[in-house]
């Protein structure tokens, strides 16, 4: 298996950029920012793990959009507009 790559700078900056100044709202406090970062991280880890499982089962090295669609569908979050 491949080694696990973690990009901490990206993880640290992802949620604050998405939630901080949305249409003039107040900045999100640190507790909510940390909580939403944790929830987003767990969600993405689950989706990516399932998508990689589909990719490995198909004996490919590249994750396709359909792998992500099937991973989301498996978790009960159907995504339309990407074929299949």
pLDDT digits (tens, 9 = 90+) for 23-69: 555 666 777 777 888 898 999 999 999 999 999 999 999 999 999 99
16: pLDDT strictly greater than 90: no
Domain 8-74, classified CATH 1.10.20.10, yes or no: yes
pLDDT at 59: 95
Domain regions of the chain by residue span? 8-74
Q: pLDDT class for 73, splitting at 50, 70, 90?
A: very high
Would you state the structure tokens that stand for residue 5, as one six-digit string? 């790559």
Nearest CA among 46, 53, 67, 72 for reference residue 1? 53
Higher pLDDT pick, 83 / 19: 83
State the average pLDDT over residues 65-83: 90
Task: Report d(CA 16, CA 70) in Å as an integer.
Answer: 29
Nearest CA among 63, 73, 43, 44 for reference residue 2? 63
pLDDT at 69: 94
Say what the pTM is. Answer: 0.65
**Residue position matching structure tokens 């900045």:** 27
């Amino acid at each position: 298996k491949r080694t696990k790559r973690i990009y901490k700078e990206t993880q640290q900056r992802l949620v604050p950029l998405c939630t901080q100044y949305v249409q003039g709202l107040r900045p999100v406090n640190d507790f909510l920012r940390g909580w939403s970062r944790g929830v987003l991280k767990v969600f993405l880890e689950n989706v990516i793990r399932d998508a990689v499982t589909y990719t490995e089962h198909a004996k490919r090295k590249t994750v396709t959009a359909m792998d992500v669609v099937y991973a989301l569908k498996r978790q009960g979050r159907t995504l339309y507009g990407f074929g299949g």
